[in-house]
Amino acid sequence: LGAQPGSPTVTLGAAYKKIDDFDALFPAVPSLVDAEALNVEGRIRFDRPVRVRGRVTFRHSGEETVDLSALGRDVFENETVTL
C-alpha cells in the first residue's frame, strides 16, 4: 500500500523505530488532516492532541524525552519547532 493522494508524508527519527518506544512517545495522536509533511527528530512525546498544518518539523537533540505539551500550543503550521 502506498500513500494516498493528498496524504501527508510522515518521517520519524530513530527514537520511534521500536514499537514500545513508538507507543510510549505517541500516547496522543496528532491531527494530520491539514498536513503536508510531519518530521520528528529526537525523543518527543506527543502527550496531548495537536493539529499539524502544512509542513512541520519537531526537533530535540537531547537524550531525555520532552513533552510536546511544554510548548503550550495546540496548532503548528509551516514551521520548525526546537524543544
Q: How far apart are CA 18 and CA 37, in angstroms?
A: 22
pLDDT digits (tens, 9 = 90+) for 35-68: 999 999 999 999 999 999 999 999 999 999 999 9
Supply the pLDDT for residue 31.
97
User: What integer is the mean pLDDT of 63-82?
Assistant: 97
pLDDT(16) > 80: yes
Band the pLDDT of 1: cuts 50, 70, 90. Answer: very low
Per-domain residue ranges of the chain:
9-82
Q: Can you give the pLDDT at residue 33?
A: 96
Which residue, 49, 50, 48, 42, is CA-closest to 66? 42
pLDDT the model gives residue 5: 60
Pick the CATH number of 9-82 from 2.40.30.110, 1.10.10.10, 2.160.10.10, 3.40.50.720: 2.160.10.10
pLDDT of residue 37: 98
What is residue 2's predicted lDDT score, i.e. its pLDDT?
52
| Alpha-helix runs per DSSP H in the chain | 19-25
